[in-house]
Amino acid sequence: MKSNLTPLEPKADKATVRRHNLSLVLRAVHDAGEATRAGIATHVGLTRAAVSSLVEQLLEYGFVSEWGKTSSGQAGRPGTVLKVSRSGPAGLGVEINIDYVTVCVVDLAGTDRVRLVEHFDNRGVQPSEVLARAARLTARAIGSAAEQDLVPAGVHVALPGLVTGGTVRQAPNLGWQRVAVEGLFAQALLALRPAHRPLPVSSDNEANAAALAELWFGAGTEGVRSFLYLTGEIGIGGALVLGGELLRGAHGFAGEIGHMVVDPEGPLCRCGARGCLEQYAGQAALLGAAGIDPDAGVQGVAELERRARRGDPAALSAVERAGRQLGVVVSGAVNLFDPDAVMLGGVYRELMDWLAPAVDRELSLRVVSGLWSEGGKRLRASSSLGDAARGAAGVIVREVLADPAACAERDARSSGT
Amino acid sequence: MKSNLTPLEPKADKATVRRHNLSLVLRAVHDAGEATRAGIATHVGLTRAAVSSLVEQLLEYGFVSEWGKTSSGQAGRPGTVLKVSRSGPAGLGVEINIDYVTVCVVDLAGTDRVRLVEHFDNRGVQPSEVLARAARLTARAIGSAAEQDLVPAGVHVALPGLVTGGTVRQAPNLGWQRVAVEGLFAQALLALRPAHRPLPVSSDNEANAAALAELWFGAGTEGVRSFLYLTGEIGIGGALVLGGELLRGAHGFAGEIGHMVVDPEGPLCRCGARGCLEQYAGQAALLGAAGIDPDAGVQGVAELERRARRGDPAALSAVERAGRQLGVVVSGAVNLFDPDAVMLGGVYRELMDWLAPAVDRELSLRVVSGLWSEGGKRLRASSSLGDAARGAAGVIVREVLADPAACAERDARSSGT
Chain A residues in contact with B3 (beta carbon < 8 A)? none
Would the CB atoms of A7 and B21 count as touching at under 8 Å? yes
| A170–chain B nearest CA distance, Å | 7
- Looking at chain B, the whole-number percentage of residues with pLDDT higher than 70 is 94
Chain A residues in contact with B10 (beta carbon < 8 A)? 45
Of B45, B172, B340, the CB nearest to A250: B340
Chain A residues in contact with B160 (beta carbon < 8 A)? none
Test the A interface: residue of B163, B168, B336, B398 with most A CBs within 10 Å: B336
CATH code that applies to domain B14-84: 1.10.10.10
* B window 266-285, beta carbon within 8 A of A: 271-273
Would the CB atoms of A336 and B254 count as touching at under 8 Å? yes
CATH-assigned architecture of domain A88-208+388-408: 2-Layer Sandwich (3.30)
Rounded-to-integer distance, Cα B185 and Cα B166, Å: 10
- pLDDT, tens digit (0-9, with 9 covering 90-100), for B174-215: 999 999 999 999 999 999 999 898 999 999 999 999 999 999
A226 to chain B, any CB pair closer than 8 A? The answer is yes
Contacts of A221 (CB under 8 A, 6+ apart): none
pLDDT for residue B77 is more than 80: no
Rounded-to-integer distance, Cα A25 and Cα A46, Å: 9
Chain A residues in contact with B365 (beta carbon < 8 A)? 272-273
Rounded-to-integer distance, Cα A160 and Cα A169, Å: 11
pLDDT at position B292 is 96
Would the CB atoms of B338 and A1 count as touching at under 8 Å? no
Which DSSP letter does residue B382 get?
Answer: P
Chain B residues in contact with A2 (beta carbon < 8 A)? 31
Phi–psi pair at A382, nearest 5 degrees: -65, 150
B257 to chain A, any CB pair closer than 8 A? The answer is yes
Rounded-to-integer distance, Cα B230 and Cα B242, Å: 15
Of B46, B169, B226, the CB nearest to A369: B169
Chain A residues in contact with B259 (beta carbon < 8 A)? 332, 335, 366, 368
Of A10, A24, A257, the CB nearest to B5: A24
Query: Per mean pLDDT, which range of B66-80, B255-269, B325-339 is the poorest?
Result: B66-80
pLDDT at position B415 is 62
Chain B residues in contact with A169 (beta carbon < 8 A)? 369-370
Phi–psi pair at B86, nearest 5 degrees: -90, -5
Q: At B346, which helix (H) or strand (E)?
A: strand B341-346
Q: What angle do CA A382, A383, A386 make, to 5 degrees?
A: 90
Q: Bridge partners of B274? A: B268
pLDDT for residue B8 is more than 70: no
- What number of CA atoms fall less than 13 Å from residue A333's CA on the CB side? 36
Q: Per residue of chain A (417 residues), give pLDDT as tens.
A: 334 455 554 456 788 889 999 999 999 999 999 999 999 999 998 999 999 999 999 999 999 999 888 765 556 667 899 999 999 999 999 999 988 999 999 999 999 999 999 998 888 899 999 999 999 999 999 999 999 999 999 999 999 999 999 999 989 889 999 999 999 999 999 999 998 989 999 999 999 999 999 999 998 888 999 999 999 988 899 999 999 999 999 999 999 999 999 999 999 998 899 999 999 999 999 999 999 999 888 899 999 999 999 999 999 999 999 999 999 999 999 999 999 999 999 999 999 999 999 999 999 999 998 888 877 689 999 987 778 999 999 999 999 999 999 888 887 776 644
Would the CB atoms of A2 and B43 count as touching at under 8 Å? no
CATH topology of A14-84 equal to that of A88-208+388-408? Answer: no
Q: Bridge partners of B90? A: B107, B152
Question: Does residue B270 contact residue B172 with C-beta atoms inside 8 Å?
Answer: yes
pLDDT for residue B116 is more than 90: yes
Of A46, A238, A261, the CB nearest to B328: A261
Test the A interface: residue of B369, B373, B398, B401 with most A CBs within 10 Å: B369
pLDDT at position A4 is 46
* B window 16-75, beta carbon within 8 A of A: 16-17, 20-21, 24, 27-28, 31-32, 35, 43-46
With CA atoms as reference, report the closest residue to A206 among A137, A242, A156.
A156
Find the residue in B nearest to A247 (Cα): B337
- pLDDT, tens digit (0-9, with 9 covering 90-100), for A257-276: 999 999 999 999 988 999 99
Residue with the larger pLDDT of the pair A147 and B415: A147
Contacts of A317 (CB under 8 A, 6+ apart): A289
Test the A interface: residue of B260, B277, B278, B329 with most A CBs within 10 Å: B260
Q: How many CB pairs under 8 A join A and B?
A: 208
pLDDT at position A9 is 47
Contacts of B119 (CB under 8 A, 6+ apart): B99, B100, B297, B298
Would the CB atoms of B7 and A32 count as touching at under 8 Å? no
Find the residue in A nearest to B329 (Cα): A261
CATH code that applies to domain B88-208+388-414: 3.30.420.40
Phi–psi pair at B40, nearest 5 degrees: -65, -45
* B window 93-152, beta carbon within 8 A of A: none
Of B35, B46, B273, the CB nearest to A7: B46
With CA atoms as reference, report the closest residue to B117 among B102, B97, B95.
B102
Question: Does residue B93 contact residue B156 with C-beta atoms inside 8 Å?
Answer: yes
- pLDDT, tens digit (0-9, with 9 covering 90-100), for B269-311: 988 999 999 999 999 999 999 999 998 888 999 999 999 999 9
Q: Read off the pLDDT of each residue in B65-86 and give the average, rounded to a whole number.
A: 80
Q: Read off the pLDDT of each residue in B146-155 and give the average, rounded to a whole number.
A: 96
Of B20, B249, B264, the CB nearest to A328: B264
Phi–psi pair at A193, nearest 5 degrees: -135, 60
- pLDDT, tens digit (0-9, with 9 covering 90-100), for A77-105: 678 999 999 999 999 999 999 889 999 99
Q: Bridge partners of B232? A: B236, B346
Chain A residues in contact with B161 (beta carbon < 8 A)? none
Q: What is the pairing mode between strands B379-381 and A101-107? A: unpaired
Of B1, B46, B260, the CB nearest to A28: B1
pLDDT band per the 50, 70, 90 thresholds, residue B148? very high
Residue type, B147: E
Chain B residues in contact with A366 (beta carbon < 8 A)? 259, 261, 271, 273
B300 to chain A, any CB pair closer than 8 A? The answer is no
Q: What's the CATH fold of domain B223-381?
A: Nucleotidyltransferase; domain 5 (3.30.420)
Test the A interface: residue of B2, B278, B335 with most A CBs within 10 Å: B335
Test the B interface: residue of A48, A265, A336 with most B CBs within 10 Å: A336
pLDDT at position B417 is 42
Contacts of B357 (CB under 8 A, 6+ apart): B320, B323
Question: Does residue A29 contact residue A82 with C-beta atoms inside 8 Å?
Answer: yes
Contacts of B41 (CB under 8 A, 6+ apart): B47, B48, B50, B51
Find the residue in B nearest to A5 (Cα): B44
Question: Does residue A325 contact residue A262 with C-beta atoms inside 8 Å?
Answer: yes
Chain A residues in contact with B242 (beta carbon < 8 A)? 247, 249-250
- pLDDT, tens digit (0-9, with 9 covering 90-100), for B29-62: 999 999 999 999 999 989 999 999 999 999 999 9
ipTM: 0.88
A7 to chain B, any CB pair closer than 8 A? The answer is yes
- What number of CA atoms fall less than 13 Å from residue B124's CA on the CB side? 2
| A196–chain B nearest CA distance, Å | 35
- pLDDT, tens digit (0-9, with 9 covering 90-100), for A149-163: 999 999 999 999 999
Q: Is B249 exposed, middle or buried (0-12, 13-18, 19+ CB in 10 A)?
A: buried
Map out the domains of chain A as residue ranges: 14-84, 88-208+388-408, 222-381
Question: Does residue B329 contact residue B262 with C-beta atoms inside 8 Å?
Answer: yes
CATH code that applies to domain A222-381: 3.30.420.40
